[in-house]
Amino acid sequence: MEDFLYFFSFQDASIGFVVLGITLLGIGSAFVGTFSFLDNKALLGDAISHAILPGICLGFMLAGEKNPYFIVGGAIASGGLATYLSSWLKENTKLTEDTIIAVILSVFFGIGIVFLTVIQKSGNPEMAGLNQFIFGNAIGIVERDLWIYGILSLGIISVLIGLFKEFQLLVFNPEFGKAIGLPMLSIRMAFNTLMILAVVIGIQAIGVVLMAALLITPGAAARFWTDRLKTLLILAALFASISGIFGTFVSYTLPQMPTGPWVVVILSLIALLSFLLAPKRGMLSRFYHRKKYIDKTQQDHVLKSIYKAEELGKSGLGLNDLLQIYPHHKKGILKSIKNLEKTGYLFINHNIIKLTKPGKMKAKRIVRLHRLWELYLNEYLNIAPDHVHESAEKLEHLLTPELEALLENRLNFPKLDPHQETIPRDHDDI
Amino acid sequence: MMTFDQNAFQIIFTASLIASSCGLLGVFLMLRKMAMTGDAISHAVLPGIVIGFLVSGTQRGLEVIIGAGILGILATLMIDWLRKKARVQLDASIGITFTLLFAIGIILISAFAYRVDLDQECVLYGEIAYLPIDLWITDSGISLGPRILWIAILNLVLVLGFIGLFYKELKLTSFDEKFGIVIGIPASAINLGLMSMVSYTTVSSFEAVGAILVVALLVVPPATAFLWTRQLSRLIQLTLSIGVIVSIFGYYLAYLLDSSIAGMMVTVAGILFFVSVILTRFQVKSRIGTQIEAKAFSS
């Protein structure tokens, strides 16, 4: 707890710096990543983060030390080459996109490893710092680098905000952008440069392998909460900052713990919670809506069956007879009967189920929709009467009152369906 | 300077065996458009390796392979779950799954650092050069040759056995999964089987070539072969030949430049790939004269 207060009060200026740095870097990556996620190119970031390794090593070899300008320059060169090659290969070979990404990723990384071992064997004392690019270490970033990377992150964020409209078009409708005279190719190149920059900065905190999470996961999680791009970006940035700060906190309190993996674990937790709990798109919400629909169809089936029995002149339907109509849904049917009884649509008398007045109205409507739809398919789409039932079984639960009125009008308030059964109206008797 | 001694032979032979196991599985991964799933699995097995290590206390226990196998299957299931149940797009599902599992692996290594003598760097890029001095010595003191060589032989035998047994099923489900299901092939079981073989091969090879370079051997030779042929049997033959070529040239180039053998193998594989791209492009261009052939190629 003491650690917690000390950390989050930012009394220690260096903690403040690291937190600010990792927040900016996280937001930058989340912004870039969200755009490429929406562009269905989520894994390109993973390829780039592996592909900049040879560039970093070359920059190191040329400068002879860990000079950030040389390293960023080298990374942009090899990241750019990898990005270009991946789109060139896509156009010029029959390989699928994921194979191309995997080839680029592993070949560039392999070349990077060759360079790395060459540097290792040259005995340069600054070598130790290079491993930071592979495994990442947010706490270990020195203050001078932090300034450079913080400013670069700010730059990425401001360019993305400044060119928001252009990048939005790039992702959603590049054809339209071209048509209204925007230089889409330059915009794509600008975007790729931002992506490479974000990766170069990001991997020093989080490492080559985990960089993909910083790009993909915030956007993927935020996508479950909203359909609006601006909200999406804000949420992605929020998720990235929260996990960045907590990841740094963990590796501050437990010094043997690396920052990057904790950032990723927290980010993934946020994502999994979003997948489960988000309204509308979340799994629980979809599950609930699906269950509600199934309940409704089963209740409709119960009402319809009793109505049909009454139509044949019986005074109701025996429970066992009803269960025999739907032998595979016994549990659901029993539950539906209980619910319908509770809501006053039916009542049970000596094991015979009967419709109440409102129940009769409701059942009539279902049967009416079913038979209207059968007639419509038969008359207007020329489908044989013995082929229309299946479709009507589904549509009877879905047709809205507006569509019902349209059907009635179009069919001129018919009396009989294609099977010569009466289409019941509200004022009719059974 | 080029020498061909026993050490060179052992390293090249082992590398060829590993490249063959990876290539054989990689052909099917590529045809199923699962190259990145293979990449994801090779990262996701890390926590399984660490847990197996913690249980058995050694990097060489059967527990390590079982742990990795379980995690490989878990990763496959998680990708599937995210895609089908949570409805996350496929590439994002892959990205989220492997980063989470890899992160957990690194956290486990850091948490048990005092007990796990497992080098992150070794997991990532291995070192096959030490193979000749890492011998398998029986309790009675007889040396049976390099340990990793035996591991690679066992791996290749099992991969060959798996592919031999299920060749028809793998072929059918790779080209037309729905048709496979219709004629009664348990497609998801075959898929999980393939994924467990990929995880096992990753673990079996990571000591020698490292996790990321396993991916290269899984993907690059089949992709190169695919540029030349579409016929499955030719594809497999070509992939195996590329694996051997890559091992020979990778070894000698690494020897010349005094660098990582595994890294150099991938570099050679990359060069072969790009040379093939250029040559096959040239071939297509010179062929385009006749309309029919051009059409056949684009279909």
**CB-nearest partner of A268 from B89, B96, B265:** B96
Give residue A309's pLDDT band: very low, low, confident or very high (50, 70, 90): confident
Confidence (pLDDT) at A72: 83
Share of chain A above pLDDT 70, in %: 94
Confidence (pLDDT) at B295: 46
Question: With a CB-CB cutoff of 8 Å, which residues 112-151 of chain A face chain B?
Answer: 112-118, 121, 131, 134-135
Instruction: Dump pLDDT digits (tens) for B111-152.
Output: 887 666 666 566 666 666 666 767 777 677 777 677 778 888
Cβ atoms A100, A87 nearer than 8 A: no
Instruction: Dump pLDDT digits (tens) for A310-362.
Output: 888 888 888 888 888 888 888 888 888 888 888 888 888 888 888 888 888 88
Indicate whether B99 pLDDT > 90. yes
Instruction: Dump pLDDT digits (tens) for B188-216.
Output: 888 888 988 988 888 888 777 777 678 89
Q: How far apart are CA A264 and CA A269, in angstroms?
A: 8
**CB-nearest partner of A103 from B87, B223, B281:** B223
Contacts of B15 in chain A (CB under 8 A): none
Contacts of A257 in chain B (CB under 8 A): 107, 110-111
Give residue A138's pLDDT band: very low, low, confident or very high (50, 70, 90): low
Instruction: Dump pLDDT digits (tens) for A80-115.
Output: 999 999 989 998 888 988 899 999 999 998 898 888
Partners of A205 in the β-ladder: none
Question: With a CB-CB cutoff of 8 Å, which residues 74-113 of chain A face chain B?
Answer: 89, 92-96, 98-103, 105-113
Confidence (pLDDT) at B214: 85
Q: How far apart are CA B299 and CA B297, in angstroms?
A: 6
Instruction: Dump pLDDT digits (tens) for B219-268.
Output: 999 999 999 998 899 999 999 999 999 999 998 998 888 888 888 899 99
Instruction: Dump pLDDT digits (tens) for A18-73.
Output: 788 888 889 999 999 999 999 888 889 899 998 998 998 899 888 877 777 888 88
Mutation pick from B32, B80, B88 vs chain A, by most beta carbons of A within 10 Å, is B88
Q: How far is B99 from chain A (nearest CA, A)?
A: 5
Partners of B137 in the β-ladder: B143
Confidence (pLDDT) at B42: 85
Give residue B179's pLDDT band: very low, low, confident or very high (50, 70, 90): confident
Q: How far is A126 from chain B (nearest CA, A)?
A: 18
Return the higher-pLDDT residue of B174 and B89: B89
Phi, psi at B153, each rounded to 5°: -65, -50
Confidence (pLDDT) at B11: 85
Indicate whether A131 pLDDT > 90. no
Task: Average the pLDDT over B9-26 and give the result.
Answer: 91
Question: B269: which 2 tokens?
Answer: 């594989």
Mutation pick from A131, A209, A224, A275 vs chain B, by most beta carbons of B within 10 Å, is A209
Confidence (pLDDT) at B123: 60
Q: How far is B270 from chain A (nearest CA, A)?
A: 5
Give residue B286's pLDDT band: very low, low, confident or very high (50, 70, 90): low
Confidence (pLDDT) at B270: 95
Task: Average the pLDDT over A184-204 and give the result.
Answer: 88
B125, B3, B226: which is closest to A117 by C-alpha? Answer: B125
* Nearest-by-CA chain B residue for A259: B107
**Average pLDDT, rounded, for chain A:** 86
Q: How far apart are CA A291 and CA B141, in angstroms?
A: 67
Would you call B36 and A101 a contact, using CB atoms and an 8 Å cutoff?
A: yes
**Average pLDDT, rounded, for chain B:** 83
Cβ atoms A257, A251 nearer than 8 A: yes
- Listed as own residue / partner, the contacts of A330-336 with beta carbons closer than 8 Å and 24 or more positions apart are A332/A294, A332/A295, A332/A298, A333/A298, A333/A301, A333/A302, A335/A295, A335/A298, A336/A295, A336/A298, A336/A299, A336/A301, A336/A302
Indicate whether A272 pLDDT > 60. yes
Would you call B36 and A102 a contact, using CB atoms and an 8 Å cutoff?
A: yes
Instruction: Dump pLDDT digits (tens) for A358-412.
Output: 888 888 899 999 999 999 999 889 888 888 888 888 888 888 889 989 988 888 8
Confidence (pLDDT) at A204: 79
Contacts of A258 in chain B (CB under 8 A): 106-107, 110
Give residue B1's pLDDT band: very low, low, confident or very high (50, 70, 90): very low
CB pairs < 8 Å spanning A and B: 200
Mutation pick from A109, A199, A256 vs chain B, by most beta carbons of B within 10 Å, is A109
Q: Model ipTM?
A: 0.86
Residue ranges and CATH numbers for the domains of chain A are 14-279 (1.10.3470.10), 285-355 (1.10.10.10)
Return the higher-pLDDT residue of A129 and A392: A392
Q: How far apart are CA B92 and CA A168, in angstroms?
A: 19
Question: A223: which 2 tokens?
Answer: 């996508």
Q: How far apart are CA B160 and CA B22, in angstroms?
A: 11
Contacts of A46 in chain B (CB under 8 A): 95
Contacts of A103 in chain B (CB under 8 A): 35, 219-220, 223, 270, 273
Cβ atoms A298, A332 nearer than 8 A: yes
The DSSP result for A66-105, as a single string, is --HHHHHHHHHHHHHHHHHHHHHHHHHS---HHHHHHHHH
Confidence (pLDDT) at B296: 46
A127, A121, A60: which is closest to B255 by C-alpha? Answer: A121
Contacts of B227 in chain A (CB under 8 A): 93-95
Would you call A109 and B212 a contact, using CB atoms and an 8 Å cutoff?
A: yes
Q: How far apart are CA A46 and CA B99, in angstroms?
A: 10
* Burial of B141 from C-beta contacts in 10 A (0-12 / 13-18 / 19+): exposed
Q: How far apart are CA B82 and CA B75, in angstroms?
A: 10
Instruction: Dump pLDDT digits (tens) for B55-66.
Output: 887 766 778 888
Indicate whether B294 pLDDT > 60. no
Outline where A312-329 has alpha helix (H). 319-325
Indicate whether B293 pLDDT > 80. no
Would you call B110 and A109 a contact, using CB atoms and an 8 Å cutoff?
A: no
- A217 has a chain B CB within 8 A of its CB: yes
